[in-house]
Amino acid sequence: MIKIQIYRVTPIATNCCYLVDEATGKSAVTDPGDKSLRLIKQIENDGGKLEYVILTHGHYDHICYAKQLADRFNAKIVTGRHNNVFLSDTHLNGTAEHGIPFEPFSADILFDDGDTFMLGDTEIKYLYTPGHTSGCGVYLFDDVMICGDVLFRGSYGRTDLPSGNDEKMISSLKKLKELDGEYQVIPGHGPLTTLDHERMYNPLMSRL
């Protein structure tokens, strides 16, 4: 089982998750779009056993502190294979357009759809879910879904940014809707929701 703490980072309140495997104390951070001193202090207080920096997709508000955090704790950066190009392309990740200083980097481990990895004793599964960008992915563990900007409470990710695609977004939402079981959904921004709630009330997902 994984214990979750959410830190809202960046001016647009990115949901950055601190994940701790309860059996081993090994930890990971998802989508560190900006530096959080509270998060860093918590990792240090827990013994600094940060194994992974996990990225759902490559927009600046999800990746801008990934390399620095990984270097600080000697952690590995992991993401979907199709997302890696965003980590070095300032136009794809939006840092050029927003005038944000950014040093390109590359992930240490790249996942394909359906790949799994272990955080301590807990298995995490990666699903490839393009649409918001061509590199978006979702992570599943226990009864939790960390979905970046694919799915929001009552909404879904915009598709009008570079590499966004309406048809792929529809396909990805259908893929999530058809998953077995119920999940607590932690989106990239905004309030948490559940997959059953979105299956029933999300204006797009409910029609698929």
Q: Which long-range contacts (CB under 8 A, 24 or more apart) does 79-82 make?
A: 79/54, 79/55, 79/107, 79/109, 79/110, 79/111, 79/135, 79/137, 80/110, 80/111, 80/112, 80/126, 80/128, 80/135, 80/136, 80/137, 81/110, 81/111, 81/112, 82/128, 82/130, 82/134, 82/135
Query: Is the CA virtual torsion 71, 87, 17, 175 positive or negative?
Result: negative
Residues 6+ apart with CB under 8 A from 140: 124, 125, 127, 146, 179, 183
Residue 81: pLDDT band with limits 50, 70, 90: very high
Q: Return the sign of the alpha-carbon dihedral for residues 157, 160, 162, 164.
A: positive
* Domain boundaries, position 43: 2-207
- Domain count of the chain? 1
Place of tokens 């598709």: 159
**CATH code for the domain of 142:** 3.60.15.10
| pLDDT computed for residue 118 by the predictor | 98
* pTM for the full predicted model: 0.97
Q: What's the pLDDT band for 5 if we cut at 50, 70, 90?
A: very high
> Tell me, what's the pLDDT at 150?
98
Query: pLDDT grade, residue 117 (50/70/90)?
Result: very high
Local confidence band at 61 (pLDDT 50, 70, 90 cut-offs): very high
Could you tell me the pLDDT band of residue 79, with boundaries at 50, 70 and 90? very high
State the CB neighbour count (10 A cutoff) for residue 158.
11
Over the range 166-187, which residues count as b (16 or more CB within 10 Å of their CB) and which as e?
eebbbebbebbbeeeeebebbb
